[in-house]
């Protein structure tokens, strides 16, 4: 799969750098879901996304909002996740 570059940033490379909790948080924000209160681990994932420019905090009312780069990275991560072949099930005769 070819990688897409937006504003000098390789989207797949940036998506690969994100951990599962960061990707889940980014997808929640992109889908408009409220992430709720965070424990320390979740807050670290949120702050990593913020530092990379994928999300930002908007005030009044205070909420997380995905940036255009965040939407692009979330889409790239979803495409990369769905395009990976699934391993065959145990006992499968398919080669």
Q: With 60 as the cut, is the pLDDT of residue 9 above it?
A: yes
User: Cβ(19)–Cβ(45) under 8 Å?
Assistant: yes
Structural domain harbouring 68: 24-82
Tell me, yes or no, whether 14 lies in a domain. no
Q: With 90 as the cut, is the pLDDT of residue 57 above it?
A: yes
Q: pLDDT averaged over the chain? A: 84
Residue whose structure tokens are 């965070």: 38
Phi, psi of 16, deg, nearest 5: -70, -25
Tell me, yes or no, whether 52 lies in a domain. yes
Residue whose structure tokens are 């005769």: 93
Q: How many domains does the chain fold into?
A: 1
Tell me, yes or no, whether 78 lies in a domain. yes
Residue whose structure tokens are 């072949």: 85
- Higher pLDDT pick, 51 / 5: 51
- State the Cα–Cα distance between residues 15 and 59, nearest whole angstrom: 27
- State the Cα–Cα distance between residues 77 and 49, nearest whole angstrom: 14
């Amino acid at each position: 799969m070819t990688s897409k570059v937006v504003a000098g940033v390789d989207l797949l490379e940036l998506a690969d750098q994100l951990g599962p909790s960061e990707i889940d948080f980014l997808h929640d924000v992109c889908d408009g879901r409220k992430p709720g209160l965070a424990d320390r681990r979740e807050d670290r994932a949120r702050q990593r996304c913020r530092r990379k420019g994928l999300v930002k905090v908007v005030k009044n009312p205070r909420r997380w909002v995905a940036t255009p780069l965040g939407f692009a990275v979330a889409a790239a991560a979803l495409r990369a996740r769905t395009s990976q072949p699934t391993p065959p099930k145990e006992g499968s005769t398919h080669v």
